[in-house]
Structures are given as structure tokens and as C-alpha cells.
Amino acid sequence: MQENREFHGLLGFEEVMNLGWITTLASPSTPAAQVSFMTADKTAPVTPDMSVEVEDVDAAYAVMRDSGAEIVHPLQDEEWGVRRFFVRDPNGRVINVLSHR
């Protein structure tokens, strides 16, 4: 994690969250520009390959479920302030889809 923090620091990113198992870095000039790194997921049986923040995670969940996409981790609220679910994309990657509460 330290190497990722230092490397992305060269691009101007600063640490904005560190829960030990996940670290998030953000651009000071554009705080919505973020990158996160996980060693393992705290509440899910699989660690996602990437995360996508959406405006309405409940609507995104309904669209994915109704399309027949594989839901890897159910929609739920997490103690660190997000509501999220995991879905597998057509290439087999696990995507963490979330909204902040």
C-alpha cells in the first residue's frame, strides 16, 4: 500500500482514507478524482478488481439484476459510509458499484 501511495503521490494524489485494508487517494484540486487500493475486502468473500461510484446504487443494482448479470456480493450498507454491491463484468472482472451515503 505504501508503494501505491508514493507512486500516485507523484501524480498529485493525496491519501483521504485509510482503513488498513483499503486506502483511497484523491486529487486535491478535483476531489472526485480518486483511486483506491484493497488488500482484501472487509465484508465480501472476494476482492473487487475495480470500483465505480454511481449516483443511485439502488437503480444500478436493479438494472444489473434485471439484465441477468452475475451479482457477486449483495446490495448492502457498509459501516464506512457506502452502499454497494459487486457484479461480474463480461470479461470476468468483479466490479464494486457504490454510492456514498
* Domain boundaries, position 58: 42-101
The mean pLDDT values, 10 residues at a time, for the chain of 101 residues are 75 86 86 80 82 92 97 95 94 91 84
Cell matching residue 43: 465484508
pLDDT at position 101, please?
84
Q: Are residues 55 and 79 in the same domain?
A: yes
pLDDT at position 98, please?
92
Q: Are residues 34 and 51 in the same domain?
A: no
Largest CA distance in the chain: 42
Cell matching residue 95: 466490479
Q: Are residues 30 and 54 in the same domain?
A: no
* Strand-pair category, 34-38 with 22-26: antiparallel
pLDDT at position 50, please?
84
pLDDT at position 35, please?
80
35 CB-contact burial (10 Å; exposed 0-12 / middle 13-18 / buried 19+): middle
pLDDT at position 1, please?
62
Any bridge partners for residue 85, and if so which? 97
Q: Is 27 in a helix, a strand, or coil? A: coil
Q: Are residues 57 and 96 in the same domain?
A: yes
- Residue 78 sits in a domain of what CATH number? 3.10.180.10
